[in-house]
């Protein structure tokens, strides 16, 4: 069974840092793109970041470029989103999503999400 489990969310002051984890099981994430997306309170969905499975290049939304970074631990099946210089507008539920085999952004399964609140 495919599972994605996000963790690491919480309350952080503006300018602070936080690392989110997405623990995966039931599939090989080097063959399926795994991405992060977010949803601010009462707003729509926004793609944040992901690995390109063909060349392992890291991609980021302009809104987080230079502040967020991705890493992964293949042995643990876990992907991390390292978030620095957090702003109030980064407040959102962060989801990780698994893509269809061989695709980068065709999401087929989603985690339950983890809430990040940036506030003093």
Partner 1 sequence: DIQMTQSPSSLSVSVGDSVTITCRASQAIDIHVAWFQQKPGKAPKSLIYSASSLQSGVPSKFRGSGSGTDFALTISSLQPEDSATYYCQQYMRYPFTFGGGTKVEMK
Point out which residues bind partner 1 (CB under 8 A): 35, 44-47, 50, 52, 59-62, 95, 97, 99-100, 103-113
CB of 75 to partner 1, least distance (A): 26
The first and second tokens of residue 97, run together, are 């999503």
Q: Phi then psi for 88, rounded to 5 degrees?
A: -55, -35
- The pair of structure tokens assigned to 52 is 């390109």
d(CA 9, CA 30): 24
Q: Which is nearer to partner 1, 13 or 42 (CB)?
A: 42
Q: How far is the CB of 64 from partner 1 (least distance, A)?
A: 10
Nearer to partner 1, 78 or 95 (CB): 95
Which residues are paired to 73 by β-bridges?
A: 78
Q: What gap in Å lies between CA 20 and CA 96, rounded to an integer?
A: 10
Least CB distance to partner 1 at residue 58 (A): 10
The residue whose two tokens read 């876990």 is: 78
For residues 54 and 65, what is the distance between their CA atoms, to the nearest angstrom?
Answer: 21
| CB 50 to partner 1: min, Å | 8
CA 8 to chain centre: 11
Q: Which is nearer to partner 1, 16 or 58 (CB)?
A: 58
Nearer to partner 1 by Cβ, of 23 and 45: the residue is: 45
């Amino acid at each position: 069974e495919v599972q994605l489990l996000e963790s690491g969310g919480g309350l952080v002051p503006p300018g602070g840092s936080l690392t989110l984890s997405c623990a995966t099981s039931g599939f090989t994430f080097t063959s399926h793109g795994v991405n992060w997306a977010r949803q601010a309170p009462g707003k729509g969905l926004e793609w944040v970041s992901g690995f390109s499975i063909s060349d392992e290049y890291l991609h980021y939304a302009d809104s987080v470029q230079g502040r967020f970074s991705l890493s992964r631990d293949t042995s643990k099946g876990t992907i991390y989103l390292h978030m620095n210089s957090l702003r109030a507008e980064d407040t959102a539920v962060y989801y990780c999503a698994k893509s269809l085999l061989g695709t980068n952004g065709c999401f087929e399964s989603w985690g339950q999400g983890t809430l990040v609140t940036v506030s003093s």
